[in-house]
């Protein structure tokens, strides 16, 4: 099928295309047993709240047994629940309760690496003759120094760690406590498919697949072309047998269940995404890319006067390229998760007077785009970056190891801490803000990570009482998406590619036409959709006076004036 044909085919309906995914970081959601750490009974106790949002699918960050070097992304038993979070009986209760409310549950599976405390690795590292040795990736010391490979979290940046008992180095793309599995070994693949089936047989509805593009490694370990792959990480997602393994996974697992799979598309560019998600290739249902973080961290603002502190033109290009890149597959959209700072601090403004209005505008964006929205818990009340000022307040291995490295290299620690206030992952991991009580109602004990002190103003209890709150606007926007299939299955067309302040697009399909105009800046803006809006009806907006109905004066014009962070959805005749 050509790229053009792929893009033109109408999407087949599927429950996961119509779903809104609500991502819960279990450690931070609700602590039921008073140890300062969120847990499964805590999530269970708040399911009425989750259901009240109107979302359909809950994605839980890893809940498997883990020594927590990387908060559950280092698994030591794939068939057990992390003791901090509860027991298997707690999990079964949670799964039942989610299902009885008509929602579904996704688990987050780490298939690229295990914990170094996983029994496979404990065995593997004892001797080259051990049957588990070949479950991991090694470089024998007699071959000299291992080839240069970079690690995300290692203090020295080196992805190899020497293991004396075997006189060899093991590969770890992440921390030294997260050794990479050897997917070229059929026994490893069988183990992984067995684990997936174990949870699907229990009734879970699918997986988010961590770091999945990294699973295949070139056993020749060639030199990496650093011009093509600066930082090497793009290289990691282009292993020679990756698509063979994803197709095998589909055959062995996904094809046998009514489930969904969404991969973390680290290192994957928009023109390649169809290779993962095109239905005819039988690999994954969806993949999410790293565009939003890249745009915010590395691109310059389009203009100083636009009132946007990053390039909105680039953000639009990135979302549009991903939409096109999936071909006849299906996109996902998100602006934040547990690895990114808070969406409002990054793409809106968490400062008075813009906080609520920009949080609502970003909700309007994600809920009117084409693609399954992945919504990160807390964004529906406008939780913002905590901006820790001292290293002791951070928990994240990424921040702590980078700090050590800069310290060792006598780099600029203060500059690093300043930068972490904007970019650190812990910004998104602070405890969920339920109410006004100490620790924001998250726990009765000292929480594992400090609560953002702004909980005294920003919390669920306060927003439940206010019909104009971010929370209640989020619920309205969710309900609006659900009630309009054109917003789910309709095509997406960008209308104002070059405008540095506004993001305007059409959604057309299922007999409906919507025009969405959003001002991403803190200044007034004008959006030019390129045609007069005669007969257009305002159906949803984030300003309290926006109202609904046909605005003839505005609609006769070819431009839409937008107040700071204003977002409007028009139904077109």
Is residue 553 part of the annotated active site? The answer reads: no
Give yes or no for a contact between 60 and 106, defined as CB atoms under 8 angstroms apart: yes
- Only one of the segments 123-131, 261-269, 382-390, 496-504 lies at the binding site for ligand ISL (rule: CB under 6 A); that segment is 261-269
For residue 567, the cross-strand partners are 518
- Tokens 């847990």 correspond to 39
Nearer residue to ligand ISL within complex by CB, 291 or 564: 291
Residue (108 or 328) nearer to ligand ISL, CB? 108
- Segment near ligand ISL (CB under 6 A), from 45-53, 260-268, 404-412, 479-487? 260-268
Output the smallest distance, CB 169 to ligand ISL, in A. 20
Q: How far is the CB of 108 from ligand ISL (least distance, A)?
A: 8
Cα 408 from Cα 405, distance rounded (Å): 5
Among all chains, which residue has been given the structure tokens 């999410």? 288
Cβ distance to ligand ISL smaller for residue 266 or 452: 266
Options 302, 339, 435, 508; binder of ligand ISL; rule CB under 6 A: 339
Nearer to ligand ISL, 276 or 474 (CB): 276
Residue of the chain from 59, 85, 132, 152 that contacts ligand ISL (CB under 6 A): 152
Structure tokens that stand for 327 in this block: 């071909």
DSSP state of 115: -
Q: Residue ranges of the alpha helices (H) in 330-435?
A: 343-347, 355-368, 397-408, 413-423
116 secondary structure, DSSP code: T
From the candidates 264, 328, 496, 551, which is the catalytic residue?
264
Nearer to ligand ISL, 233 or 250 (CB): 233
For the question of residue 264 being annotated catalytic, the response is yes
Q: Is 356 exposed, middle or buried (0-12, 13-18, 19+ CB in 10 A)?
A: buried
Q: Report if residue 235 touches ligand ISL, rule: CB under 6 A.
A: no
Residue 180 in the binding site for ligand ISL (CB under 6 A)? no
Does the footprint of ligand ISL cover residue 174 (CB under 6 A)?
A: yes
Shortest gap between Cβ of 266 and ligand ISL (angstroms)? 3
Least distance between ligand ISL and beta carbon 150 (Å): 11
Query: Which of 276, 290, 448, 492 touches ligand ISL (CB under 6 A)?
Result: 290
Contact region for ligand ISL (CB under 6 A) — 81-89, 241-249, 263-271, 439-447?
A: 263-271
What six digits make up the tokens of 464?
Answer: 């439940």
Q: Please say which residue, 70 or 426, places its beta carbon nearer to ligand ISL.
A: 70
Rounded to whole angstroms, the Cα distance separating 259 from 34 reads 34
* Both tokens assigned to 348: 């809106």
Number of other CB atoms surrounding residue 290 within 10 Å? 18
The Cβ of residue 186 has, within 10 Å, a number of other Cβ atoms equal to 9
End-to-end CA distance of the chain: 34
Q: Hey, is 239 helix, strand or coil? A: coil
78 binds ligand ISL (CB under 6 A): no
Instruction: Give the bridge partners for 518, in sequence order.
Output: 503, 567
User: Rule CB under 6 A: is residue 110 a binding residue for ligand ISL?
Assistant: yes
Report how far Cα 271 is from the mean position of its chain's Cα atoms.
20
Interacting residue ranges for ligand ISL, rule: CB under 6 A: 70, 73, 110, 152, 174, 210-211, 233, 264, 266-267, 290, 338-339
Residues with catalytic annotation? 210, 264
């Amino acid at each position: 099928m050509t790229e053009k044909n792929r893009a033109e085919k109408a999407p087949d309906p599927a429950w996961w295309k119509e779903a809104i995914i609500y991502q819960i970081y279990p450690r931070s959601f609700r602590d039921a047993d008073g140890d300062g750490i969120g847990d499964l009974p805590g999530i269970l106790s708040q399911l009425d709240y989750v259901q009240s949002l109107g979302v359909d699918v809950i994605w839980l960050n890893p809940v498997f047994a883990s020594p927590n070097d990387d908060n559950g992304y280092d698994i030591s038993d794939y068939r057990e629940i992390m003791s901090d979070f509860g027991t298997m009986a707690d999990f079964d209760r949670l799964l039942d309760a989610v299902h009885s409310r008509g929602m579904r549950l996704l688990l987050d599976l780490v298939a690229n690496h295990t914990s170094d405390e996983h029994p496979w690795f404990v065995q593997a590292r004892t001797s080259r003759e051990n049957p588990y040795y070949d479950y991991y990736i090694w470089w024998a010391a007699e071959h000299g120094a291992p080839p240069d490979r970079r690690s995300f979290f290692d203090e020295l940046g080196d992805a190899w760690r020497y293991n004396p008992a075997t006189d060899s180095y093991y590969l770890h793309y992440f921390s030294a406590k997260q050794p990479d599995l050897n997917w070229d070994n059929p026994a490893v693949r069988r183990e992984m498919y067995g684990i997936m089936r174990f949870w699907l047989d229990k009734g879970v509805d699918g997986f988010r697949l961590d770091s999945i593009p990294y699973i295949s490694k070139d056993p020749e370990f060639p030199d990496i072309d650093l011009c093509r792959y600066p930082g090497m990480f793009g290289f990691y997602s282009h292993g020679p047998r990756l698509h063979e393994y994803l197709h095998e996974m589909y055959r062995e697992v996904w094809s046998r269940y009514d489930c969904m799979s969404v991969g973390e598309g680290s290192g994957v560019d928009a023109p390649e995404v169809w290779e993962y998600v095109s239905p005819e290739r039988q690999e994954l249902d969806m993949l999410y890319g790293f565009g939003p973080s890249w745009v915010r961290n590395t691109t310059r603002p389009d203009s100083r006067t636009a009132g946007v502190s990053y390039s909105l033109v680039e953000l639009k290009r990135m979302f549009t390229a991903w939409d096109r890149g999936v071909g006849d597959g299906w996109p996902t959209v998100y602006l934040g998760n547990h690895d990114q700072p808070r969406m409002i601090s990054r793409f809106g403004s968490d400062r008075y007077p813009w906080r609520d209005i920009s949080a609502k505008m970003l909700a309007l964006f994600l809920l009117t785009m084409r693609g399954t929205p992945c919504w990160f818990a807390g964004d529906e009340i406008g939780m913002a970056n905590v901006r820790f000022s001292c290293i002791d307040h951070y928990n994240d291995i990424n921040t702590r190891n980078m700090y050590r490295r800069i310290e060792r290299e006598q780099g600029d620690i203060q500059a690093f801490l300043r930068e972490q206030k904007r970019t650190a992952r812990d910004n998104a991991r602070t405890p969920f803000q339920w109410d006004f009580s100490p620790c924001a109602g998250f726990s009765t004990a000292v929480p594992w990570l400090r609560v953002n002190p702004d909980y005294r103003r920003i919390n669920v209890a306060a927003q439940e009482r206010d019909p104009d709150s971010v929370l209640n606007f989020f619920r309205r926007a969710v309900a609006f998406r659900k009630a309009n299939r054109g917003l789910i299955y309709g095509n997406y067309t960008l209308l104002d590619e070059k405008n540095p302040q506004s993001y305007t697009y059409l959604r057309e399909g299922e007999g409906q036409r919507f025009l969405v105009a959003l001002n991403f800046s803190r200044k007034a803006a004008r959006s030019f959709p390129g045609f007069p809006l005669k007969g257009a009806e305002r159906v949803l907006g984030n300003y309290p006076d926006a109202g609904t109905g046909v605005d003839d004066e505005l609609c006769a014009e070819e431009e839409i004036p937008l107040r700071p962070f204003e977002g409007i959805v028009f139904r077109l005749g």
